[in-house]
């Protein structure tokens, strides 16, 4: 597992350098700070990217959960993308270095991310944050799963009722364990078994990640698709057409919309899971990032 993580870190950071390195703003326009957050059984690190501004400025905040199938990834791989978001939108971005499975199986990654969100809500001055301007959660792939679960947990959490999550960004998200697909929706959940050997993510690899996560497939913190959508904040969803997870993202957005939740959905036909970094030069990847910026603006403008 350690060797796999080391190799993935090298590859992912190199891909991000190629995709975003040449776009980075001047270092004077932001600062990066690490903070320790107490969690059950230890501590984790969160990294805050704060735009440069006069003292006393309060920014909206976005809490980011990285992907990697709950077993891989860290706060480095997406840092350049998040710097761009922070500076472009005048927004503090906090990325969570949650503990990984299988050493730390379900629900540890979920609980770590919830602890990080609560920490952000109670340390706004440190982070130059004004929650009235926006309190977003975001994640890609397994990070999208974590963001969706945290939005639900925050909705039901007494501590966060006074500082609620105001929007969620779910990029190619995991929303349901395949063994928990509801019978009434199985005709809408075909991609996991029909898109078998796609690049970037196969259903075999996704099954392996689920096994390492060690969750009850029907637990709502494992399969948020099964839960109530009532009272959730607005959702921006991005889905890749050649992704085994495609239909989970589509159905999640559909059920949220049917429950009266404001949603925006962007679909990218013919491209695989998490394509936008490795294939950053294609037009679809540029559209993906442009849509992300529009999605952030859509969610933040709701706080004006």
Walk along the chain (304 residues) and give the pLDDT tens digit of each residue.
888 898 888 898 899 999 999 999 999 999 999 999 999 999 999 999 999 998 888 999 999 999 999 999 999 989 999 999 999 999 999 999 999 999 999 999 999 999 999 999 999 999 999 999 999 999 999 999 999 999 999 999 999 999 999 999 999 999 999 999 999 999 999 999 999 889 999 999 999 999 999 999 999 999 999 999 999 999 999 999 999 999 999 999 999 999 999 999 999 999 999 999 999 999 999 999 999 999 999 999 965 4
Please report the pLDDT score of residue 57 as a whole number.
86
Architecture of domain 2-301: 3-Layer(aba) Sandwich (3.40)
In three-state secondary structure terms, 130 is: coil
Other residues' Cβ atoms within 10 Å of the Cβ of residue 211:
12
∠ CA 57-59-64, nearest 5°, is 150
Helix (H, G, I), strand (E, B) or coil at 120: helix
Return the structure tokens found at 140: 């890609």
| pTM strictly above 0.75 | yes
46 in helix, strand or coil? Answer: strand
> Where exactly are the structural domains of the chain?
2-301
Six token digits for residue 21: 């390195």
- Looking at residue 78, its pLDDT comes to 96
Phi-psi region of 200 (alpha: psi -120 to 50; beta: other; left: phi over 0): left
* Burial class, 6, CB count within 10 angstroms (exposed 0-12 / middle 13-18 / buried 19+): exposed
- The Cα–Cα gap between 289 and 291 comes to 5
Give the residue ranges of DSSP H helices in 21-105: 79-89
From the CB of residue 103, how many other CB atoms can be counted at a distance below 10 Å? 10
Judge whether 43 and 37 are in contact, CB under 8 Å: yes
Between helices 283-301 and 79-89, what is the axis angle to 10°?
50
């Amino acid at each position: 597992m350690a060797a796999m993580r080391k190799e993935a870190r090298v590859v992912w950071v190199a891909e991000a350098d190629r995709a975003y390195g040449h776009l980075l703003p001047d270092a004077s326009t932001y600062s990066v700070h690490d903070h320790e957050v107490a969690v059950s059984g230890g501590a984790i690190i969160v990294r805050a990217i704060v735009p440069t501004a006069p003292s006393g400025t309060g920014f909206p905040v976005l809490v980011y959960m990285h992907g990697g199938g709950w077993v891989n990834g860290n706060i480095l791989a997406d840092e350049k993308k998040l710097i761009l978001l922070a500076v472009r939108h005048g927004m503090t971005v906090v990325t969570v270095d949650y503990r990984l499975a299988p050493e730390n199986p379900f629900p540890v990654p979920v609980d770590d991310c919830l602890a990080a969100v609560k920490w952000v809500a109670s340390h706004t001055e440190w982070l130059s944050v004004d929650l009235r301007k926006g309190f977003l959660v975001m994640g890609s792939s397994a990070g999208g799963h974590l963001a969706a679960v945290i939005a639900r947990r925050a909705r039901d959490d007494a501590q966060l009722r006074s500082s609620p999550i105001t929007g969620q960004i779910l990029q190619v998200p995991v929303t349901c364990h395949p063994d928990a697909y509801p019978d009434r929706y199985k005709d809408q959940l075909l991609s996991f078994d029909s898109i078998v050997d796609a690049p970037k993510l196969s259903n075999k690899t996704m099954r392996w990640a689920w096994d390492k996560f060690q969750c009850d497939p029907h637990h709502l913190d494992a399969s948020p698709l099964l839960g109530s959508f009532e009272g959730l904040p607005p959702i921006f969803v991005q889905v890749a057409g050649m992704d085994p997870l495609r239909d989970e993202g589509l159905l999640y957005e559909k059920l949220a919309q049917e429950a009266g939740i404001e949603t925006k959905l962007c679909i990218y036909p013919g491209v695989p899971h998490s394509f936008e970094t490795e294939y950053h030069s294609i037009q679809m990847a540029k559209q993906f990032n442009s849509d992300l910026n529009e999605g952030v603006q859509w969610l933040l403008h709701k706080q004006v």
